[in-house]
A and B are shown apart, each in its own frame.
Chain A
Amino acid sequence: MAQTFTPRGHGAAHPPTSLGLDMRKLGMWAFLGSESLFFATLITNFFVNRSSERADYCNGLTYADLAIGLTSVGAFILLMSSLTMVLALAALRDGNRRMYRTWIVSTALLGTSFLCIQIYEFTEFALHGKGMSSNNFGAAFFALTGFHGTHVLIGVIWLFSLLFLRVGHNVKRPLEYVVGGQAGLRTHREPTDGGAGIPVELCGLYWHFVDLVWVFIFTLIYLLPMDDPCGEAHEALSAVSHLTVL
């Protein structure tokens, strides 16, 4: 008989997982570990270049240009989007698909407004000639926050795409049961989430991770104090600095 992958019927039993955990969630957490080192390296790069002693420091973006007020609004928006994200998952688990969709759309829109703030910020800096090539403080800042922004963008696309994917359609069944359990062997558990709502939870994990990175970035870039010998010169820097004061 030709070897074949054809048996696709649902009659066969499916091997339970060894840890009793969902494959996708396990993979997502391992992936987030990888992402953690990605951002750690960018943060390292920012710290190494976070110095006002370099000769070209005053040529570009400086510490005084960073707008705490505007960024605090951004941080607030991202935190709120994390809240709406967990509420979306909770609504899905409760079987309330209308609220689920509402919360997902709110999360995506909050993410979009965060992106708008960041685009505005970057544009303002660029218009004042403070770009990647002006000085390394700015370059490291753009690299770190830019990659965070890219992650937010991917998250927003992912969130919107959830609306078009069929998720959580079998959520209202009892979730836990045990199979296997031969004498002397460890009991194997079926993945207890049963796949329902997992796509949303995965997107949520990613989204919260992106929020988490912003928690670190917010403190490490914007709040940690730093001497800025040329801060005074930029007092007139348009709307960005108007928002500097809360």
Chain B
Amino acid sequence: MATTTRAPELAAHAYPESESGIWSWVTTVDHKRIGILYLVTAFAFFIGGGIEALIMRLQLAGPDGQLTAGDTFNQLFTMHGTSMIFLAIMPLNASFFNFLIPLMIGARDVAYPRLNAFSYWLFLFGGLYLNASFIGGAPDVGWFAYAPLTESGYAPTKGVEFWIVGLAILGLASIISSLNFIVTILNMRAPGLTFRRLPVFVWMTLITSFLIVFAFPPFTVATILLFFDRLLGSQFFIQTAGGGGDPVLWQHMFWFFGHPEVYILILPAMGIVSEVLPTFARKPLFGYTAVVFSGLSIGFLGFTVWAHHMFVVGLGALPNAVFAASTMLIAIPTGVKVLNWSATLYEGSISLKTPFYFAVGFLVLFTIGGLSGMMHASPPVDAQQSDSYWIVAHLHYVLFGGALMGFFAGMYYWIPKMSGRILNEKLGQLHFWSMFIGMNVTFGPMHVLGNDGMPRRIYTFPSDQGWDEWNLVATIGSFVIAVSILVFMYNVFISLVRGKKAEADPWDGQTLEWSIPSPPPVYNFAAIPVVGSNRPHWDAKYGGAPEQPEPEEGGIHMPPPSYWPVVVAFTLSMAAVGLLYSYPLAAIGVIATIAGAFAWAKEPVDIPSDGSNGQPH
């Protein structure tokens, strides 16, 4: 079908020509390729963060550990937290957004394909930038970087600067990609795909995107102010005898971002589970509307609870009570969701495949994590648990047991769509069980350790505290997790090489992505589908779908690849490097960025001369 004719006004412009090989990936604006790039890169960072965790667990395996000195340990837990949140879970979610959102809403690409590529390259360079700090001393202040510990007097290396600027780059990448998804979801749905028919995963992506767009700017401002403190001698977050500011302000600004961030991490997993469970229970999702509105209220309430991270700061009884109440409110929509997922399973004819195992694993572990979270929603209880291993246990149950279990459910569910191969079922179940057991053996004992008074972030402990056994158990568990991840990687490798070929619809799915071949063609849909319910592909298979249009003659209009996203992302990162090491380099980077942006704007995109195309960039 492909004709290579090019509109006359575009013919003169030098577009990247390769359609395979490395340059085709560097210049791609195809959302599916960008999704895969995100997936591979984020998984690499995930492995890095996991290795950091293993080293820490080795250090803590027994009393008086000698493996890493105190400062290295501090760098490890800071980089572990920062990497897992900003370089692993968020971009892993972004990879699903990229790959799936256009497929699920019946579109051929996202709203701004070039900006989408730009987000990916910024993410990659930002991640490398952050990890480059290990050379001169990584940030060693914890992932929430409490002031005044981050001020130059207490953190003299450039680690904190790397953290600030690296996260500014990553934040920019996240905001841009979220704007992209907001517009894509609002404006590029297939005919008939109203908001009441959107798949839950798309809804959760929309909510997550709004959370990112609203929560990241306060964080960026906070880090910039910290940068001023360190670089220009202002005193926003440090108090001295002569005056200065208030370290508590940092905590407010950080957690005003930090709590929505928690939902940014978990809502996509909730969306994945809401797609996986109905497919394998062969029932529609129980209470679709309730699940969607719960997601919306979680998103909204997420902005009203931040000070529950600060109960021990001493805000006073009234603020603590208000924030405790709003925190407990969040349990209601979360409980509604858990109930709906459970009710979806009730009387379903369940097909016990690996994605389903992971989804149920999510359900169980996330509920445990939610319950322990409810406990320290109460300020007096939190006063006991704050800064102890109890918190570590809680957050890993919701982020590992929640977000990552959901992510793996999505991997087993959608890798056939991405690659055209089904992952090995036996290895998948081995992966699930080893991960499920390893996870509980690692993080379960931390509840006990926390209750026994073991503080977070200590790099060693004496043997007379009664913490020896449980720490050893947790370390063993962490290596079980590591083995399970190796099983997963082996599974992906072996299945991609000689796994079973996936048909278009291997799981009897209900959403639009299963109506097209695996892997999907570049243009996704030969004809944009017409949607009649929130289970369009079931309608198509079992009756009830509205009449579908025929593919049009004359080829399909796809955005051309571009050099500019990677170029501008590079020049911007160059400016970021210059900011720390050489101002002339920073100036060159800024000027090159402006020039690159201008060239980007000048690059003719395929807007037809009647101007009716809604997909300009």
Contact = CB atoms under 8 A, between A and B. Distances in A.
Is there direct touching of A and B in the complex, by C-beta distance under 8 Å?
Answer: yes
Contact of A136 (B224, B241, B244): B244
A121 interface: no
Contacts of A225: none
B602 A26 contact: no
B579 to A, nearest CB: 14
A194 B112 contact: no
Nearest to A161: B598
B365 to A, nearest CB: 32
Interface in A101-144: 131-133, 135-136, 139-140, 143
Given A7-B555, A17-B187, A195 B233 contact: no
Interface in B499-534: 521-522, 528, 530, 532
A133 B191 contact: no
A22 B112 CA distance: 12
A198 B242 CA distance: 53
A182 B530 contact: yes
A9 B118 CA distance: 25
A5 B183 contact: no
Interface string B355-376: 0000000000000000000000
Contacts of B256: 41
B287 interface: no
B130 to A, nearest CB: 22
Nearest to A13: B552
A18 B560 contact: no
B233 A133 contact: yes
A224 interface: no
Given A15-B188, A27-B182, A136 B245 contact: yes
Interface string A1-45: 111111111111111111101111011001101110110111011
Contacts of A12: 552, 554-557
A198 B611 CA distance: 10
Contacts of A242: none
B280 to A, nearest CB: 30
Given A11-B554, A186-B192, A30 B609 contact: no
Nearest to B234: A139
A56 interface: yes
A157 interface: yes
Interface string B596-617: 0010011000111111111111
Interface string A220-238: 0000000000000000000
A185 B546 contact: yes
Interface stretch (A47-55, A86-94, A209-217): A47-55
Interface string B437-449: 0000000000000
B19 interface: yes
A48 to B, nearest CB: 6
Interface stretch (B37-45, B70-78, B214-222, B328-336): B214-222
Contacts of A15: 107-108, 188, 528, 614-615
Contact of B2 (A4, A34, A41, A194): A4
A182 B191 contact: yes
A18 B189 contact: yes
A173 interface: yes
A11 to B, nearest CB: 3
B111 interface: yes
Contact of A27 (B180, B242, B608): B180
Nearest to B239: A54
| Most chain A beta-carbon contacts within 10 A, residue among B194, B235, B528, B558 | B235
B553 interface: yes
A3 B242 contact: no
A106 B175 CA distance: 32
B410 interface: no
Nearest to A135: B243
Contacts of A44: 253
Contacts of B607: 195
Contacts of A11: 553-555
B561 A5 contact: yes
B242 A18 contact: no
Contacts of B253: 41, 44-45
Contact of A7 (B215, B244, B557, B614): B557
A54 B244 contact: yes
B24 to A, nearest CB: 10
A38 B7 contact: no
B546 A136 contact: no
Contacts of B554: 7, 9, 11-12
A24 B617 contact: yes
B188 A18 contact: yes
B1 interface: yes
B7 A16 contact: no
B546 A143 contact: no
A57 interface: yes
Given A16-B614, A41-B222, A194-B612, A23 B112 contact: yes
A27 B183 contact: yes
A173 B179 CA distance: 30
A157 B233 CA distance: 30
Interface in B53-92: none
A38 B609 contact: no
Contacts of A180: 191
Interface string B1-41: 11111110010000000010000000000100000000000
A242 B298 CA distance: 53
Interface string B224-236: 1100100011111
Given A8-B560, A9-B555, A15-B108, A33 B214 contact: yes
B495 to A, nearest CB: 22
A57 B233 CA distance: 15
B545 interface: no
Q: Top 4 A-B pairs ranked by shortest CB distance? A: A7-B555, A133-B233, A56-B243, A11-B554
9 contacts: A7-B554, A17-B188, A23-B615, A26-B111, A40-B218, A48-B245, A49-B245, A139-B236, A184-B546
Interface of A: 1-19, 21-24, 26-27, 30-31, 33-35, 37-38, 40-42, 44-45, 48-49, 54-57, 59, 131-133, 135-136, 139-140, 143, 157, 161, 164-165, 170, 173, 180, 182, 184-186, 188, 190-191, 194-196, 198
Given A35-B217, A41-B217, A195-B607, 4 more contacts: A17-B187, A23-B188, A23-B614, A31-B213
